[in-house]
Amino acid sequence: MKTAQHFFYQNDTLTVDGVPLDKLAMQYGTPLYVYSKAALTEHFRQYADVCKQFETDDIHSLVCYSVKSNSNLAILNILGREGAGFDIVSGGELLRVIAAGCDSRKVIFSGVGKTASEIRLALEHDILCFNVESFAELRRINRIAAEMGKKARVSFRVNPNVDPKTHPYISTGLKENKFGIPYEEALAGYEEAARMPHIEVTGIDCHIGSQLLDDAPLLEALDKLIDLFDQLAQKGIELKHIDIGGGIGITYDNEIPVAISDYLTRIFGKITTWKNAKYPGQSISMMFEPGRSISGNAGLLLTQVQYLKTNSDKNFAIVDAAMNDLMRPSLYESWHTVLPVVKRQTETKTYDIVGPICESGDWLARQRTLSIETDDLLAIMSAGAYGMAMSSNYNTRGRAAEILIDDKKAYLIRKRERPEELYALETIIS
Ligand SMILES: *Cc1c(COP(=O)(O)O)cnc(C)c1O
């Protein structure tokens, strides 16, 4: 059984950085998300360190962690202290970044549906940039900035129409997707934006999809952004940054994603050559919006087997985690490795790992060969991204507690939700 560096067995018991998971389950209960601070910072530094290597007087960079992948305050705070900026997709996420003690001036705001109040909030907090996804949004930002007597920094999220070759639900850079501004319309849009009194055009961005294993589509997208940059420069519109988005994949099963350092080396190689040839002396900042590749393999979901059951000839392990805790399998049919917390030597069987929710779609893993008994603990691996962040209260199930391991100590970074908290906002009418 293959385990990642921060999740390993000691004396046949699975640990997170040496802290045994059975002890955590006993103390905090299940289902339980457990993250490794060491893994999280290591993944962030894979980006930050290469960015630093390529830093010059006029080539800068900012790694903006995608808050939606895992937005726990403790996680945002750790990344903020590492120097991260943040890519947000709602006003709520901006308030989280601020509550985590991080700098709102390092925030970029993506998303197709920014409301007037979200735009106002972002302007109040002087965010770095709006990643604008439509002309209607651009006009709305200009109007609100005018009301506030401010100038809003904007980048256009262009749709480069490249195929990321990933799951259709997480592919965002094709022209039929709802995201971004069509490539062909961007030039005219920038000219309109440059004339708006309360808009400062600062950059260009894209985000073509998620769980990309190969960086070729990203490099192709970068070429398209560079091409638009050049066309804009000829029209006297000077951009200050290029943001290539997030999307680098992780190993869930046996996928081999491109190494972050190789990917960034190719990106900076391209940028350095191009910039030095065409814009010597001009300052440019490269931005990235990674989510999954930072948080995904920094966490797991711990769950306990409630019942073992056989229907016709199929074996089910019914566990206390469900699709409301980890939605990815039911939403994308995604694979998560399942490991026993304490290894057994007894006979193995093939199980579907399912939750207690009243939906046939409520499964976490299918056809896994395991040696398990009732009350055993299982670890659903690679659950740090889009796990807790996508969780819900369906079936009036409180969200799981979250634990962060730092230097062999466990910290409760989110308490388990209690049922009375779930209906506290509701009212009975007379
Ligand atoms: C979700 C998202 C990201 C992060 O994607 P990952 O695949 O988790 O790296 C980055 N940018 C935008 C605009 C997003 O919507």
* Position 429 in a domain: no
Give the domain CATH number at 404.
Answer: 2.40.37.10
Is 140:118 a contact under the CB 8 Å cutoff?
A: no
Residue 358 among the catalytic residues: yes
User: How many angstroms is it from 39 CA to the middle of ligand 1?
Assistant: 19
Pick from 204, 205, 138, 206: nearest CA to 174: 206
Q: Are residues 29 and 90 in the same domain?
A: no
Q: What is the structure's pLDDT at 180?
A: 87
* Position 354 in a domain: yes
Q: Are residues 141 and 239 in the same domain?
A: yes
Kindly indicate the confidence band of residue 3, based on its pLDDT and cuts at 50, 70 and 90. low
CB 164 near ligand 1, within 6 Å: no
Q: Are residues 23 and 130 in the same domain?
A: no
The mean pLDDT of 361-368, rounded to a whole number, is 96
**Cβ-Cβ contacts under 8 Å for 340 (sequence gap 6 or more):** 14, 370, 371, 372, 376, 377, 378, 379
Give the domain CATH number at 274.
Answer: 3.20.20.10
Q: Are residues 47 and 152 in the same domain?
A: yes
Q: Are residues 352 and 283 in the same domain?
A: no
Q: Are residues 32 and 111 in the same domain?
A: no
Q: Is 289 annotated as a binding residue?
A: yes
Is 25:15 a contact under the CB 8 Å cutoff?
A: no
Calculate what percentage of the chain has a pLDDT beyond 90. 92
Q: Are residues 315 and 269 in the same domain?
A: no
Q: Is 173 annotated as a binding residue?
A: no
* Position 430 in a domain: no
If you take atom 10 of ligand 1, which residue's CA is the nearest one? 246
* Position 2 in a domain: no
CB 290 near ligand 1, within 6 Å: yes
If you take atom 3 of ligand 1, which residue's CA is the nearest one? 246
Kindly indicate the confidence band of residue 2, based on its pLDDT and cuts at 50, 70 and 90. very low
Measured from the CA of 291, which atom of ligand 1 is nearest? 8
CB 291 near ligand 1, within 6 Å: yes
Quote the CA–CA distance of 269 and 52 in Å, as a whole number.
14
Q: Are residues 179 and 119 in the same domain?
A: yes
Prediction pTM value: 0.96
pLDDT tens digits, one per residue of 28-65 = 999 999 999 999 999 999 999 999 999 999 999 999 99
Q: Are residues 25 and 80 in the same domain?
A: no
pLDDT tens digits, one per residue of 96-107 = 999 999 999 999
Quote the CA–CA distance of 115 and 271 in Å, as a whole number.
34
CB 69 near ligand 1, within 6 Å: yes
DSSP single-letter state for residue 333: -
Give the residue from 291, 322, 340 where a domain finishes.
291
Quote the CA–CA distance of 144 and 123 in Å, as a whole number.
9
Q: How many domains does the chain have?
A: 2
* Position 427 in a domain: no
Give the residue from 271, 291, 311 where a domain finishes.
291
Measured from the CA of 290, which atom of ligand 1 is nearest? 9
pLDDT tens digits, one per residue of 238-291 = 999 999 999 999 999 999 999 999 999 999 999 999 999 999 999 999 999 999
Q: Are residues 209 and 322 in the same domain?
A: no
pLDDT > 80? residue 148: yes
Is 284:240 a contact under the CB 8 Å cutoff?
A: yes
Q: Are residues 321 and 406 in the same domain?
A: yes
Calculate what percentage of the chain has a pLDDT beyond 70. 96
End-to-end Cα distance, the chain: 58
CB 159 near ligand 1, within 6 Å: no
* Position 109 in a domain: yes
Give the residue from 244, 266, 291 where a domain finishes.
291
Q: Is 329 annotated as a binding residue?
A: no
CB 391 near ligand 1, within 6 Å: no
Q: Is 328 annotated as a binding residue?
A: yes
Domain span including residue 167:
38-291
Q: Are residues 286 and 302 in the same domain?
A: no
* Position 428 in a domain: no
